[in-house]
Amino acid sequence: MKTAEDYQNGQILLIDKPLNWTSFQAVNKLKWALITKLNLPKKFKIGHAGTLDPLATGLLLVCTGKFTKRITELQGQAKEYTGTFYIGATTPSYDLETEIDQTFSTDHIDDALIHDTIKQFLGEIDQKPPIYSAIKKDGVRLYEHARAGETVEIATRKTTIHEFEITRIALPEIDFRVVCSKGTYIRSLAFDFGKAIGSGSHLTALRRTKIGDYDVKNGIAVTVFENSLDSNN
């Protein structure tokens, strides 16, 4: 079993983040477990290499001790996601955080159109982050502007979609797999895909499956990690 010294020298933990947890909550839970069960100092360094929204599950890379210096490097690696688009409706947050605000026809959509439309999103694209995101505008997070009912001009950003695959079509649902660069918003991809297909779309499920060579198949739940520390005592 790993010791307190091992965690201070540096570890990369592959955590499978559960639904409805923030990434911050997951890291805090791990930090508290390490401090209380291994007697690590309260100033023990720990952090994650890329946020997952509360409504997303999957791979969270958590660096401890000296390995927190590797967070920037890990954040820059390509990420793989799987999930579901709901076609024919949009929400202000582009996902299930907010209620449907508009509905659209899907009568014209068939498998061929879906597969043809994804080609528009391969390679480098311009993407506008969702208004319900943690990016700051004039020192205030965008989601705070959104919740206050304020209209904010959001600049587009360059991002790269390396792979975009449709894995199931059962309208109004479409399942997908995407491999993308750092800073890609899958919620924005859902919204933009809906517009490109002549309808609307929002994200109803999202799971991060890979970051670089790290795979969620090798990840563990926070509770399983906590329990594993008990055997050290």
The string of pLDDT tens digits covering residues 22-76 is 999 999 999 999 999 999 999 999 999 988 989 999 999 999 999 999 999 999 9
Section 155-177 average pLDDT: 95
pLDDT of 131 > 60? The answer is yes
107 as an active site residue: the answer is no
pLDDT of 159 > 90? The answer is yes
pLDDT of 85 > 70? The answer is yes
pLDDT of 211 > 70? The answer is yes
Q: Which member of 6, 16, 53, 107 is catalytic?
A: 53
pLDDT at 155: 76
pLDDT at 112: 97
Q: Find all residues with CB under 8 Å of 197, minimum gap 6, and list them.
A: 87, 109, 113, 114, 117
Section 7-26 average pLDDT: 95
Helices 23-38, 222-230: axis angle to 10 degrees equals 0
Q: Find all residues with CB under 8 Å of 52, minimum gap 6, and list them.
A: 17, 23, 58, 60, 208
Closest CA to 124 of 173, 183, 167: 183
Q: How confident is the model at residue 229 (pLDDT cuts 50, 70, 90)?
A: confident
Section 178-206 average pLDDT: 96
Closest CA to 201 of 163, 171, 224, 162: 171
Q: How confident is the model at residue 7 (pLDDT cuts 50, 70, 90)?
A: very high
Q: How confident is the model at residue 153 (pLDDT cuts 50, 70, 90)?
A: low
Q: How confident is the model at residue 160 (pLDDT cuts 50, 70, 90)?
A: very high
In whole angstroms, give the CA distance from residue 216 to residue 7: 21
Task: Give me the chain's average pLDDT, please.
Answer: 91
Q: Which residues pair with 153 in a beta bridge?
A: none
pLDDT of 145 > 60? The answer is no
Q: How confident is the model at residue 129 (pLDDT cuts 50, 70, 90)?
A: confident
Q: For the whole model, what pTM was predicted? A: 0.91
Q: Which amino acid is at 197?
A: I
